[in-house]
Structure 1
Amino acid sequence: MGIKKNISITYFTLLFTFLLFQQMKVSACTIASAVASNGHVWNCNNEDGPLGVANFINVFPKSTSMKYGYFTLSYFSPKLGEGSSMQGGMNEAGLTFDFNGINTVKGFDPKKMKAFHFGDEQILPYILGNMSSVTEVIEFFETYWFQNGFVSAQMHVADRFGRFAIISASGIKSVRNGAFLISTNFDICGKEDSTSCRRYPIVTSILKNQDAGFNTMMEICKKTSGESTMYSNIQNLTTGEVWFFSKHDPEVMVKTNICDLLSKGPKSYTFSDLKALIEKRTAFQPLHPTKIELADVLKSRYIGTYMNDYTGKLVVEIHQDGIKITSVDGNSNILLPQSENTFYFPNEDVRVEFTKDKKTNKLTMSFYENGFWIFDARKT
């Protein structure tokens, strides 16, 4: 998806290029929606994506400008859960959506569709903040479209009334009440071959033979999980119950309710500490680091090229004031030394820490923003 450009100037200049690359970028997903015999509506999602990147749950309570409160899911930073960069979301009316990456749909020109008057960035927040049904979402996309993107993704949308649909540049597919809907990484509306994805027949078999419910959705998540699965979420759209679990915090599964989430106010939670959804945490205090003098011989330990699939290449060099990090677009920033292995951006709470990865023994550059880990880049 696109990005909401509210990142501070220093940090923005370093990260601009690879955030820009994320416009309408969607990774692999397994999404399933089904109605149980007792009428409850269930939805689950496995999010597959780049390793070494943080994931967040971002909560937006109802305001005067929207009918419903909601939460979103994002990669990398809470900031990317605010606009069209969100990977998925659910509102208190029981409407949810997520995305599957698909091959680019050829012959579709977004410019021929009507532009949303609030802009691309506000399409997904508008849907979650103001709609309660799949029907409304379908009607919206029959009129409006993203002017930049949404040609290599499909939107899987479900509501508490048991209506499910796929929306993509290839068309729209909705299913009758009572039928289940599964989406993985092939173009359903474009009638691509479902056998191209091993996960689709696995989920189909489960839902054909089992009643929908928590245990069934958990089985789907487990049997379609892979090395690149970052996090999973299960929702009972009828009751508002939500379960979260992830590889960031593998021993923990948290059950909550969207009303409980919204009652705690606007906040972002990291998948690295899911218990924060249900337990109190000390309020984050912004850091005010002090620059230390660091000899060039110590800085030289960190020079080199670092890579992350999501962020691209980052080059670290010695600078007289600390280290210089240059991103793929050629923009550079100077970070000041806080300790022998930690550097910080002046005037904002973003720091970089260098450590050795225990498994690979490679030097790793880890970024932290406002106390949250956001991503790792490993030295090549």
Structure 2
Amino acid sequence: MVPTQEIPKNWSLPDKKGKMEIFGFALFGVIINDLLYPQGGINEKGLCFDINGLPTVKFNGQKGSKWHSWFNWFDVLWNNRTVADIEKWFQIREIPAMSWNGGQFHFADSNGNAIIIGVGGDGNLAFTKKKSNNFLVSTNNNIANVENGYYPCTRYDKTVTMLEKIINERNLTVSACRDILDAVHFEKRGVCETVYGNIFDLISKDIYVYSSHDFDRVVKFSLTEELRNPTLKAKQIKMKILDENAYGYPGFEGIKIYPIPDLFT
């Protein structure tokens, strides 16, 4: 968890000088080689993101303004408020050609908009937006290119079926979202399993956290309040956040890192 603060602009945009103020944010992820590997998060404006893995696919690259992205692009939470901001951000940035192993990136905002960014069948960035059915679903299959990923996907089909039963705001509850997470969680198979779950209320900024695939116990806290006056009692750990080159960046001021299982003790 990182509070609002000033940081050097070139931490993200190498051609920029001076400093910029960033929004406060919280990240969720795992630990790899003693570095934090961010896989999702939310900022204080109600913009959230998450990712899912896919098989490697060729990406053609695109020209634009230089961007020194942090690992899994979580630095887009620093200054963006909405899905529209995110779409513009990715349209104007330089992203080199590569064997893309980043999977798909999902963004949603407090206005109710959502977008999935990945690699399409033509090798270029693909932007898939939420349509009139009021939800946008992504599991481990490429929404923009069914040849890349695990399709058909029973977890995708089950999620859609359950979401279709939520027909009004009265039915759109944390319990309903939790039931979906529980229904599609991944039991351990080799090294793969669901290690945590989270639900974001993008309007209230409340966060609901589940450890492993235990959806009977939940820790709830307010991002707004936690950034202002930390109340979580779990033991903090010291660690750096993984960047795109697998190095740990300098620590943010006031950063607080909690192992998810310890939130439940």
TM-score (norm 2): 0.71
| TM alignment of 1:187-202, pairs within 5 A | 187-192=142-147, 195-202=151-158
Correspondence for 2:57: 105
Residues 1:270 and 2:252 are matched in the alignment: no
Residues 1:218 and 2:178 are matched in the alignment: yes
8 Å contact from structure 2 (residues 155, 184) kept in 1: yes
Residues 1:140 and 2:89 are matched in the alignment: yes
Structure 1 or 2: larger strand share? Answer: 1
Offset of residue 261 of structure 1: 2.2
Offset of residue 212 of structure 1: 2.2
| TM alignment of 1:341-360, pairs within 5 A | none
Offset of residue 250 of structure 1: 7.5
1:78–1:267 distance in 2 versus 1, CA, 3 Å: farther
Residues 1:235 and 2:200 are matched in the alignment: yes
1:121–1:252 distance in 2 versus 1, CA, 3 Å: same
Distance in 2 between the 1:175 and 1:249 partners?
29
8 Å contact from structure 2 (residues 195, 213) kept in 1: yes
Bigger radius of gyration among the two:
1
8 Å contact from structure 2 (residues 38, 71) kept in 1: no
Distance in 2 between the 1:144 and 1:123 partners?
15
Q: Secondary structure at the match of 1:196?
A: coil
Distance in 1 between the 2:260 and 2:72 partners?
25
Distance in 2 between the 1:135 and 1:74 partners?
25
Seq. identity, %: 27
Offset of residue 251 of structure 1: 6.7
Question: What is the letter of the counterpart of residue 46 of structure 2?
Answer: G
Which of 116, 124, 142 pairs up with 2:73? 124
Offset of residue 189 of structure 1: 1.4
Distance in 1 between the 2:69 and 2:146 partners?
27
Question: What is the letter of the counterpart of residue 155 of structure 1?
Answer: F
1:66–1:189 distance in 2 versus 1, CA, 3 Å: farther
Query: Which digits, 9 at most, give the CA deviation of each residue in 1:109-165, with x for residues without a partner?
Result: 23x433634x13278343111011011111111122544664441101100100000
Distance in 1 between the 2:261 and 2:33 partners?
13
* Deviating more after overlay: 93-102 vs 65-74: 65-74
Q: Secondary structure at the match of 1:229?
A: coil
1:78–1:219 distance in 2 versus 1, CA, 3 Å: farther
8 Å contact from structure 2 (residues 56, 99) kept in 1: no
Unaligned runs of 5+ in 1: 1-58, 277-380
TM-score (norm 1): 0.51
1:146–1:231 distance in 2 versus 1, CA, 3 Å: farther
Query: Which digits, 9 at most, give the CA deviation of each residue in 1:267-322, with x for residues without a partner?
Result: 0000120147xxxxxxxxxxxxxxxxxxxxxxxxxxxxxxxxxxxxxxxxxxxxxx
Q: Secondary structure at the match of 1:268?
A: coil
Question: What is the letter of the counterpart of residue 106 of structure 2?
Answer: H
Distance in 1 between the 2:134 and 2:212 partners?
31
Unaligned runs of 5+ in 2: 7-19, 121-125, 188-192, 231-253
Correspondence for 1:246: 211
Distance in 2 between the 1:185 and 1:122 partners?
19
Query: Which digits, 9 at most, give the CA deviation of each residue in 1:307-339, with x for residues without a partner?
Result: xxxxxxxxxxxxxxxxxxxxxxxxxxxxxxxxx
Please tell me the root mean square deviation across aligned C-alpha atoms, in Å. 2.7
Distance in 2 between the 1:241 and 1:78 partners?
30
